Amino acid sequence: MELYLYIALFSPLVGALFAGLFGASPKTLLTGVVNSSLLFASFLSSAVLLGYVLNGQTVHVEMMQWIAAGNLYIPFGFVVDQVSVTMMMVVTTVSTVVHVYSIGYMDHDKGFNRFFSYLSAFVFSMMVLVMSDNFAGLFIGWEGVGLCSWLLIGFWYHKESATWAANEAFIMNRIADLGMLIGIFLVYWNTGSLQYDKAFAVMPTLDNITLMYIGVFLFIGAMGKSAQFPLHTWLADAMEGPTPVSALIHAATMVTAGVYLVVRANPLYHMIPEMGLFIASLGAFVAMFAATMALVNRDMKRIIAYSTLSQLGYMFVAAGLGAYWVALFHLMAHAFFKALLFLGAGNVMHAMDGELDPFKMGGLRKSMKWTFIMMTLASVALAGIYPLAGFFSKDAILEVGFVEHHYVIYTVLLLTAGMTAFYSFRLVALIFHGEERYKVFGFHPHEAYKFVLIAMSPLAILAVIAGSFKSTYFDMVTKILPNTEYHIHSEVTEWTMIIGTQLFVILAIFFAYKKYINFKGENKEFEKRLVYKVLINQYYIPYFYEEYITKPYRELSTVFWKKVDMKVVDATVDCIANGIYKAGENTRDMQNGNLSSMLRWMVAGTVILLSLAVAFGLAVRYADEISAVLSGLGA
């Protein structure tokens, strides 16, 4: 089994290095094919491992020791258990699909090989993140995915907006990673180990305050990676990157790393329910908050990004309330349909020559039949309609909220579910139905390549059937996660809830269709309203960050640059240099080669030596008196 583990882990790395060799050369189809095959190999190995884990066994290997100093022992250890195999399956499935998809999507791009190198490197980092058996390895993967995310958001680095977005994502993540790092330090400080099993075994003996600190700092890291409020702004801006990247990194895998961390640290969060409640509340808030922003946005990819944010909120609600398996299940289901949604959006974008405004599209149903079907499927799944994947996972989260008696959270999530349905189908209606508005702008849409559509089909199938794995999945994963089942006691209430939710969501879908299917022009009246302005400006949070954090920071930096760096540091260095230079300038007269002045200097030196001789002679002669005086001063 170890062999499969290593294949799953390292074949993406091999792919990254292989494509990296051709990074500077023009497009070679070979890199795409080889990398996709290597990813497929990784996927197959993960599948084998899944089968092995389903039999109730786990794989735990220690590849080699990494840091062994004093009491600190950190190996390169990898574990394949019920949690990590889930993540591995999600990562390899989505990334294989995305790799194949990218062959078509990046067809005309100059950086084709570079793209595949980065993409495979990302998958490797993500695998390290999920498979590591200790916090240090997790952190390496964590930073690795951050780096690859930066590389890929700024993939089109000649675009200023892309580099800006990349830097924003990277810097925001650094802020959070500092918290994460402190959390890891605290874990080591208090438990003496970074191995998950050892650290969590010691944790029950620690006092509540310490656990609270560890939990808070680790969660700050999770907040950054999963773009939770107030570090959420980078995710929408990250859509500057190529669409396959958005699908893989900023929807399906990397952003869920925060959820994975909370799930992985479930023994810790189980001991601090207050923190869990906070996580759940924040999750619910973000779910609602992001959904409202998605309602009015006019950028196709940003709408999907906000929906990702919103769904991450759902996952955190589940994780915060202790329903870790539900969170992980939603993570999995979400990865499938959200990646599908993004890839579909990528097809649309490709057809529209990079246009992102859904108001300029419409009626694409005819020319892009398969993309239409898949995106509709993904949207239905996202909305949570029976029997698609979203229904099972999202409904479970709602039930958790209800059963745990957090009715506020439940209500918020229910409303958000309605909004989700609304904005999803607003998008579908605007893109695929109604008049063909794109004709005004001179676009000639075409369906994507066949193999791209075929590559997307596994995701479409999974988006439909993922819900049916629920019980199998529950059996598997609850071997190491708390196996709380959430059943509403009264059957009547349960059915009322399910049917009510379904009706509410379907109503929202119909509303969206009614409003946008015959979309004629923008509603100027609506755009003047305060609500619209607040929402389209993302609650003025980017503005706030710009005005109250970036600008003062820039001014402070300018002050430090002008005042401290130039007037103190530089001036000191210059002063030393000038002093030496002037001293040299003045003393070079000594070496002017004139024998007469040299003689004079020689005599001067003699005088100095003589004076020293006199001084020391006197000092020796009057040593006793001098020491008496000195001791008198000292006493």
Q: Which region among 183-191, 280-288, 309-317, 584-592 touches other proteins (by CB under 8 A)? A: 584-592
Is 29 a binding residue for other proteins by CB under 8 A? The answer is: no
Alpha-carbon torsion, ordered 10, 15, 21, 27, to 10 deg: -170
518 phi and psi angles, rounded to 5 deg? -110, 45
Closest to other proteins by CB, 67 or 590: 590
The one among 593, 625, 632, 635 contacting other proteins by CB under 8 A = 593
Beta pairing, strands 59-69 & 72-80: antiparallel
Is 617 a binding residue for other proteins by CB under 8 A? The answer is: yes
CB of 623 to other proteins, least distance (A): 13
Chain mean position to CA 324: 20
Structure tokens at 532: 């619209």
The one among 600, 619, 628, 629 contacting other proteins by CB under 8 A = 600
The one among 507, 613, 619, 629 contacting other proteins by CB under 8 A = 613
Distance CA 425, CA 519 (A): 13
Closest to other proteins by CB, 202 or 614: 614
Is 624 a binding residue for other proteins by CB under 8 A? The answer is: no
Contact 178, 202 (CB under 8 A): no
Closest to other proteins by CB, 587 or 631: 587
Contact 184, 134 (CB under 8 A): no
Structure tokens at 169: 């994502």
What DSSP assignment string belongs to 395-421?
HHHHHHHHHTT-HHHHHHHHHHHHHHH
Is 587 a binding residue for other proteins by CB under 8 A? The answer is: no
Is 585 a binding residue for other proteins by CB under 8 A? The answer is: no
Residue partners of 101: CB distance under 8 A and separation at least 6: 244, 247, 343, 346, 452, 455, 456
Closest to other proteins by CB, 454 or 618: 618
Is 619 a binding residue for other proteins by CB under 8 A? The answer is: no
Is 618 a binding residue for other proteins by CB under 8 A? The answer is: yes
Q: Which region among 110-118, 187-195, 211-219, 606-614 touches other proteins (by CB under 8 A)? A: 606-614
Is 583 a binding residue for other proteins by CB under 8 A? The answer is: no
Distance CA 321, CA 274 (A): 10
Contact 319, 275 (CB under 8 A): no
Is 580 a binding residue for other proteins by CB under 8 A? The answer is: no
- From 495, 496, 473, select the one nearest 483 (Cα to Cα): 473
Closest to other proteins by CB, 354 or 593: 593
Full 3-state SS string of 348-370: HHHHCCCCCCHHHCCCCCCCCHH
CB of 150 to other proteins, least distance (A): 55
CB of 593 to other proteins, least distance (A): 3
The one among 549, 573, 614, 626 contacting other proteins by CB under 8 A = 614
Closest to other proteins by CB, 549 or 583: 583
Q: Which region among 477-485, 538-546, 560-568, 598-606 touches other proteins (by CB under 8 A)? A: 598-606
Is 596 a binding residue for other proteins by CB under 8 A? The answer is: yes
Closest to other proteins by CB, 556 or 609: 609
Residue type, 568: V
Distance CA 42, CA 191 (A): 34
Closest to other proteins by CB, 604 or 628: 604
Distance CA 506, CA 590 (A): 96
The one among 568, 607, 628, 629 contacting other proteins by CB under 8 A = 607
Is 633 a binding residue for other proteins by CB under 8 A? The answer is: no
CB of 148 to other proteins, least distance (A): 59
Total binding residues for other proteins by CB under 8 A? 22
Is 603 a binding residue for other proteins by CB under 8 A? The answer is: yes
Residue partners of 273: CB distance under 8 A and separation at least 6: 322
Asked whether the CA dihedral 497, 503, 506, 511 is positive or negative, the reply is negative
CB of 613 to other proteins, least distance (A): 6
- From 229, 330, 218, select the one nearest 269 (Cα to Cα): 218
CB of 580 to other proteins, least distance (A): 18
Closest to other proteins by CB, 490 or 596: 596
Closest to other proteins by CB, 441 or 616: 616
Q: In b/e form, how buried is each residue of 294-308, taking b as 16+ CB within 10 angstroms?
A: bbbbeebbbbbbbbb
CB of 630 to other proteins, least distance (A): 21
Alpha-carbon torsion, ordered 418, 422, 428, 434, to 10 deg: 140
Is 592 a binding residue for other proteins by CB under 8 A? The answer is: yes
Distance CA 529, CA 534 (A): 9
Structure tokens at 325: 């398996």
Contact 31, 113 (CB under 8 A): yes
Integer angstrom CA distances of residue 630 from 624, 626, 627, 635: 10, 6, 5, 9
Closest to other proteins by CB, 68 or 604: 604
Residue partners of 585: CB distance under 8 A and separation at least 6: none
CB of 571 to other proteins, least distance (A): 31
Distance CA 141, CA 585 (A): 57
Distance CA 424, CA 508 (A): 10
The one among 495, 597, 628, 629 contacting other proteins by CB under 8 A = 597
Q: Which region among 76-84, 249-257, 474-482, 593-601 touches other proteins (by CB under 8 A)? A: 593-601
Is 577 a binding residue for other proteins by CB under 8 A? The answer is: no
Closest to other proteins by CB, 468 or 606: 606
CB of 587 to other proteins, least distance (A): 12
x/- string (CB under 8 A) for other proteins, residues 529-568? Answer: ----------------------------------------
H or E, element range at 72: strand 72-80
Q: Which region among 182-190, 544-552, 561-569, 611-619 touches other proteins (by CB under 8 A)? A: 611-619
CB of 614 to other proteins, least distance (A): 5
Q: Which region among 22-30, 182-190, 605-613, 624-632 touches other proteins (by CB under 8 A)? A: 605-613
Contact positions toward other proteins, by CB under 8 A?
A: 588, 591-597, 599-600, 603-604, 606-607, 610-611, 613-614, 617-618, 620-621
